[in-house]
């Protein structure tokens, strides 16, 4: 395996010298006095990046200088979770602060899938606009209807790096209003967009939830390239913030909408599908380089941004809560439990699941457990899965293929002793008390968030 270049060498290798190189040094070393006005916000959302697939998250192969720089100057979450491991559904939660079983975006927005949010939803861009922010979006949108998720400007596309440059006029505009930029890359979604064949199959790190097969390694190499391509856009935006004087007054939040686009991750609520990278840089924070184990999920994103922007609406409730208070805390109290709610991906993929997860245990309720688990079309067609089928293998990584396709009503896992979620304890009498406690929490969560699928308990 080749040696990993340091950040300065990598910046030079991709041609970011001079001002951009000085950015890499000055951002991490600079102590600027922030403005007293309300902050600007950039919400940077990539498509299908796993939680361990970045330098700051421990991957020694993938080069992510933009995200690494953001983590050095902000807060890196080790326990951040999407609530639905599907593109449109997850994005609707990010932008609304409401679980999609309530906001109505049950699955994909585009084409014949045609899911969209209810008209009672008040979204992040609309609320910020009402509060005096100028708003713009770049890249993937994937929610509906537009009047519910309305941005004042739509900026020209291109690669993430080129797209970031095209946002400069919006960021640098002489305007007294603060800005909100929603920047969404297509990368690293399949088919993996790349700037070249950088990685070789023997260089990648195969995570334990994927099979160590030639097909999987080949696809991971392409995925790594696509992750790096997404990161170039972030690095470029950080450079622009520095050039325009907005580094000192702009909150930058980095997320992935759901897990890596491989079977066993995306569209599932196993850990690889829902535990994701999340890094927040708040220029008003007193500390930087914080790593926090606060358990947050994407219903918390909109309330957090609105809190930071002093734009939280009165007489309107979110399912999530602001996590601004934990940005400078490594082990905060009261952030030890999250919930998830998934119903569709594609229109043909009805498989509702509800999840409660604490520090140790995780309960998945497979509401439609009698159905075979449905595949996203691109995941089924992947070389990784087709290799398993061609060889008629019984296992997909550590999980039996049969167990992946046919799931029981309840899956209970001890994540401390079984981080790969392969030993279901739901039928073990020793865990009956824990199972019932988690089922009660799940039911209360559904009641609290007006989940229509709560009626399914009557058929248990």
At 250-264, the pLDDT tens digits run 999 999 999 999 999
Average model confidence (pLDDT) across the chain: 92
Q: Quick one: pLDDT at residue 362?
A: 98
Q: Quick one: pLDDT at residue 36?
A: 53
Q: Are 433 and 414 in contact (CB under 8 A)?
A: no
Residue 5, pLDDT > 60, answer: no
Q: Quick one: pLDDT at residue 459?
A: 76
Output the six-digit token pair for 250. 């702009």
Q: How does DSSP classify residue 400?
A: E
pLDDT band, very low/low/confident/very high, at 12 (cuts 50, 70, 90): very low
Q: Quick one: pLDDT at residue 10?
A: 34
At 273-307, the pLDDT tens digits run 999 999 999 999 989 999 999 999 999 999 999 99
pLDDT band, very low/low/confident/very high, at 460 (cuts 50, 70, 90): low
Residue 1, pLDDT > 50, answer: no
- Work out the percent of the chain whose per-residue pLDDT is above 90: 90
Q: Quick one: pLDDT at residue 75?
A: 98
Catalytic entry in 56, 82, 87, 309? 87
Q: Quick one: pLDDT at residue 286?
A: 85
pLDDT band, very low/low/confident/very high, at 457 (cuts 50, 70, 90): very high
Which contacts (CB < 8 Å, 24+ apart) does range 444-447 have?
445/339, 445/354, 445/356, 446/354
The CATH fold of domain 37-344: Alkaline Phosphatase, subunit A (3.40.720)
At 143-185, the pLDDT tens digits run 999 999 999 999 999 999 999 999 999 999 999 999 999 999 9
Average pLDDT estimate for 32-47: 81
Average pLDDT estimate for 102-117: 94
Q: Quick one: pLDDT at residue 3?
A: 41
Domain ranges, ordered by start, for the chain: 37-344
DSSP string, 258-315: SS-SSTTSTTS-SHHHHEEEEEEE-TT-S--SEEEEEEEEGGGHHHHHHHHTT-PPTT
Q: Quick one: pLDDT at residue 6?
A: 41
At 51-96, the pLDDT tens digits run 999 999 999 999 999 999 999 999 999 999 999 999 999 999 999 9
pLDDT band, very low/low/confident/very high, at 441 (cuts 50, 70, 90): very high
The least confident of 190-199, 209-218, 269-278, 435-444 is 190-199
Q: Quick one: pLDDT at residue 385?
A: 98
Contacts with 381 (C-beta within 8 Å, 6 or more apart), sequence order: none
pLDDT band, very low/low/confident/very high, at 450 (cuts 50, 70, 90): very high
Q: Quick one: pLDDT at residue 196?
A: 87
| β-sheet bridge partners, residue 364 | 355, 411
Whether residue 191 is preceded by a cis peptide bond, meaning omega within 30 degrees of 0, is yes
At 151-162, the pLDDT tens digits run 999 999 999 999
Q: Quick one: pLDDT at residue 210?
A: 98
Does the annotation mark 167 as catalytic? Answer: no
Q: Quick one: pLDDT at residue 83?
A: 98
Q: Is the dihedral of CA 381, 384, 387, 393 positive or negative?
A: negative
At 350-378, the pLDDT tens digits run 999 999 999 999 999 999 999 999 999 99
Q: Are 257 and 94 in contact (CB under 8 A)?
A: yes
Q: Quick one: pLDDT at residue 14?
A: 33
Residue 8, pLDDT > 50, answer: no
């Amino acid at each position: 395996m080749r040696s990993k270049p340091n950040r300065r060498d990598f910046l030079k290798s991709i041609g970011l010298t001079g001002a951009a190189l000085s950015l890499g040094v000055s951002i991490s070393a600079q102590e600027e006095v922030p403005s007293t006005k309300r902050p600007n916000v950039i919400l940077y959302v990539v498509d299908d990046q796993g939680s361990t697939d970045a330098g700051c998250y421990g991957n020694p192969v993938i080069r992510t200088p933009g995200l690494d720089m953001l983590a050095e100057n902000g807060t890196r979450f080790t326990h951040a979770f999407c609530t639905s491991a599907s593109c449109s559904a997850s994005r609707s939660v990010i932008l609304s602060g409401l679980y999609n079983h309530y906001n109505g975006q049950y699955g994909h927005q585009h084409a014949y899938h045609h899911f969209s949010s209810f008209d009672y939803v008040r979204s992040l861009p609309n609320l910020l606009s009402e509060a005096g922010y100028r708003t713009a979006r770049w890249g993937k949108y994937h929610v509906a209807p537009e009047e519910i998720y309305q941005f004042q400007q739509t900026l020209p596309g291109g690669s993430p790096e080129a797209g970031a440059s095209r946002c400069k006029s919006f960021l640098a505009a002489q305007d007294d209003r603060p800005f909100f930029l929603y920047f969404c890359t297509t990368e690293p979604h399949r088919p993996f967009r790349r700037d070249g064949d950088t990685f070789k199959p023997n260089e990648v790190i195969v995570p334990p939830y994927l099979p160590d097969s030639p097909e999987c390694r080949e696809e991971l190499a392409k995925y790594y390239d696509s992750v790096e391509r997404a990161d170039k856009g972030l690095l470029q935006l950080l450079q622009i913030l520095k050039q325009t004087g907005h580094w000192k007054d702009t909150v930058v939040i980095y997320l992935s909408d759901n897990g890596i686009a491989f079977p066993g991750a995306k569209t599932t609520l196993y850990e690889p599908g829902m535990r994701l990278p999340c890094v927040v840089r708040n220029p008003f924070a007193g500390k930087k380089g914080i790593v926090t184990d606060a358990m947050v999920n994407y219903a918390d994103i909109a309330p957090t941004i609105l809190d930071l922007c002093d734009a939280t609406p009165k007489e309107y409730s979110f399912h999530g809560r602001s996590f601004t208070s934990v940005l400078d805390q490594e082990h905060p109290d009261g952030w030890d439990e999250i919930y998830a709610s998934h119903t569709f991906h594609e229109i043909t993929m009805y498989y509702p699941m509800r999840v409660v997860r604490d520090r140790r245990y995780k309960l998945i309720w497979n509401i439609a457990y009698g159905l075979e688990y449905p595949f996203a079309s691109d995941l089924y067609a992947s070389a990784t899965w087709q290799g398993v089928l061609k060889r008629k293998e019984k296992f997909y990584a550590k999980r039996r293929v049969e167990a992946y396709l046919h799931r029981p009503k309840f899956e209970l896992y001890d994540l401390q002793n079984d981080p790969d979620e392969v030993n279901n304890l739901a039928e073990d009498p020793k865990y009956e008390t824990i199972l019932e406690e988690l089922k009660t929490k799940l039911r209360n969560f559904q009641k609290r968030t007006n989940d229509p699928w709560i009626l399914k308990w009557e058929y248990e």
